[in-house]
Amino acid sequence: MTEEMKSSESPQTLSSFWSLPNDVALNILARISIIHHPSLSLVSKRFRSILSSRDLDATRTLMRKTEKHIYLCLKFRLHAKPRWFALIPSGPDQKLKPLPSFPYKHYPVSPTVISTSSEIYLIGGYLNLKSRRVFVLDCRCHQWRRLPEMRVRRGRYTAAGWIHGKLYVLGGCESSGEVYDPKTGTWEPHMMSIQNGVVVENFGYFTTNTCFIAEEKILCRAVKNLGSSFLAWCNLEDKMGWRQVKGLEGLLPESPDFLSVASPDGGSRLAVWWVSYRKEDDRVLVSEIEIWCAEISFQRRSREEVYGVREWSKVLHTMNRSETGGVISLLSSAIVNL
């Protein structure tokens, strides 16, 4: 086919697409990976309008076409504020895409970070003093906004979780709890109890850096203690307390700079994150830092034993310290569905 034939057919092809009903065009675009949306949005105003609509999100969810995307918050010596990045697949590799800078004057220190659907929430932390603020990153358009302020100032270790469409928070150096209703845009006081250091609600469990593994009905969290790091589990139905997950010896480095967990598939597996220096021929290369992730499944072999199975583990990204002023810190991580 000659170039002349191609160019003569392109307008007709586009014209055919424009003539489709809006719901049909929406159904077609919902099947395309979000990775290609930036390029598609340049095609026309209609494409851009559909790709930025809430209807597209709802259609992709109904069609089960959403994809898990990884977001990382990094702190460089050369930058005053931490910065969020999206980990974008690029062929066989992955690259970090910097997001727009945090638009507010001060980025909170040690906030609780949770995600739901396509949004990431920064809750509490410190802005000189403990903070009532909640910041939200909309990962569909990479825009920040603020929720109405909480009733109580909360520092680090604030427990938070979404239950039945409402945001529940507790702790942060405060004993009181509260709940945010996005339909009314208001916070209300809420009583919650704590067992084994975990917030317990009638509808579920949540706490900082702890995940509920629904299939095994256990809680799992990452632990750093006296030069060692491991995964621990507990069962809220008894009072055994926290025990080490077996079968994962050698998975985590002894003293990782960052260690966090998330449940990317709704509670059957665990994603574990950590940061360590790159090794080459058993030599530690302090000039390069690796961001790792592993996915773990679980087997409950007895009342007192839980074994972990490493499904996969890999380096997500390698960064050179000299390019960023000598210091790179991974502050937070999140998984969203887009």
Whole-number Cα distances in Å, 117 to 52, 61, 265, 335: 16, 10, 11, 9
pLDDT digits (tens, 9 = 90+) for 86-136: 987 655 556 778 899 999 989 999 898 888 888 999 999 998 889 999 999
| Residue 102: alpha-carbon gap to chain centroid | 17
Alpha helices per DSSP H over 122-256: none
Contact predicate 104/135, CB 8 Å: yes
Q: Which residues contact 304 (CB under 8 A, 6 or more apart)?
A: 240, 243
In total, the chain counts a number of residues equal to 338
Count H helices and E strands in the chain, helices first: 5, 25
User: Residue 204's pLDDT is what?
Assistant: 47
Query: Quick check: 258 pLDDT over 50?
Result: yes
Q: For residues 36 and 83, give the distance between their C-alpha atoms in angstroms, rounded to a whole number.
A: 23
pLDDT digits (tens, 9 = 90+) for 169-199: 887 777 778 999 999 999 999 886 555 555 5
List the structure tokens of 85: 């990045």
**Mean pLDDT confidence for 285-302:** 83
| Nearest CA among 292, 213, 219 for reference residue 260 | 292
User: Residue 329's pLDDT is what?
Assistant: 76
User: Residue 279's pLDDT is what?
Assistant: 65
For the chain, the straight-line distance linking the first and the last C-alpha, in angstroms and rounded, comes to: 37
| Nearest CA among 145, 120, 117 for reference residue 58 | 117
pLDDT digits (tens, 9 = 90+) for 55-78: 888 898 899 888 888 898 988 766
What percentage of the chain exceeds 90 in pLDDT? 21
pTM score, two decimals? Answer: 0.77
The DSSP letter of residue 8 is H
Query: Which range, 10-24, 91-105, 171-185, 311-325, is most confident?
Result: 171-185
CB atoms within 10 A of CB 87: 19
Whole-number Cα distances in Å, 207 to 158, 172, 194, 267: 8, 11, 10, 14
**Mean pLDDT confidence for 325-329:** 67
Q: For residues 70 and 97, give the distance between their C-alpha atoms in angstroms, rounded to a whole number.
A: 11
Q: For residues 23 and 36, give the distance between their C-alpha atoms in angstroms, rounded to a whole number.
A: 20
The DSSP letter of residue 11 is H
* Pairing mode of beta strands 93-98, 112-116: unpaired
List the structure tokens of 27: 């159904």
Query: Quick check: 300 pLDDT over 60?
Result: yes
Q: Which residues contact 32 (CB under 8 A, 6 or more apart)?
A: 40
Cα dihedral 95, 99, 105, 111 sign: negative
pLDDT digits (tens, 9 = 90+) for 201-256: 544 444 556 676 767 778 788 888 777 889 999 886 666 778 999 999 888 887 77
Q: For residues 240 and 17, give the distance between their C-alpha atoms in angstroms, rounded to a whole number.
A: 62
Question: 27 vs 317, which has greater pLDDT?
Answer: 27
Q: Which amino acid is present at 260?
A: S
DSSP states along 212-233: EETTTTEEEEEEEETTEEEEEE
Q: For residues 319 and 253, give the distance between their C-alpha atoms in angstroms, rounded to a whole number.
A: 18
